[in-house]
């Protein structure tokens, strides 16, 4: 059974940092493209960052220079390091593993940026 478990969210002040974790079981993350999405109340889900099988990365313009996606093959985990957080980064963050025929989602983790 495939599971993606996100963790690391929480409440942080503006300018602070968090690291989100997407721990996978039942799949090997290096065989998939992994993306982080977020959804804020009343808004559409949006792509935040993605890492390909070959470890190429891409980011939403709104997070470029602040967020970094990375992968630890030994831990079968993908990370999203978030720095210089802003109130507009507040959202529920999800990871998504995309294969040729498969698409797996986790339950997400909440990030709230507020003073």
Residue 16 has what pLDDT? 98
Question: Do 72 and 19 touch, CB atoms closer than 8 A?
Answer: no
CA dist 48 → 42, 68, 78, 79 (Å) = 17, 10, 13, 12
Token code pair at residue 115? 């003073």
Q: Phi first, then psi: what are they for 110, rounded to 5°? A: -85, 135
Question: What would the pLDDT profile of 32-59 be if each residue is shown by its tens digit?
Answer: 999 999 999 999 999 999 999 999 999 9
Torsion of CA 90, 48, 81, 107, to 10 degrees: 70
Task: Determine the Cα–Cα distance for residues 37 and 45; give it in Å rounded to an integer.
Answer: 7
Q: Which residues are paired to 23 by β-bridges?
A: 5, 77
For residue 110, give the H/E element and its range.
Answer: strand 109-113
Residue 86 has what pLDDT? 98
Question: What would the pLDDT profile of 50-87 be if each residue is shown by its tens digit?
Answer: 999 999 999 999 999 999 999 999 999 999 999 999 99
């Amino acid at each position: 059974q495939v599971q993606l478990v996100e963790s690391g969210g929480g409440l942080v002040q503006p300018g602070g940092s968090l690291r989100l974790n997407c721990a996978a079981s039942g799949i090997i993350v290096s065989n998939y493209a992994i993306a982080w999405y977020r959804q804020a109340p009343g808004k559409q889900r949006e792509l935040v960052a993605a890492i390909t099988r070959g470890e190429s990365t891409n980011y939403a313009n709104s997070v470029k220079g602040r967020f970094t996606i990375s992968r630890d093959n030994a831990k079968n985990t993908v990370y999203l390091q978030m720095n210089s957080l802003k109130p507009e980064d507040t959202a529920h963050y999800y990871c998504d593993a995309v294969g040729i025929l498969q698409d797996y989602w986790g339950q997400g983790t909440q990030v709230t940026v507020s003073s």
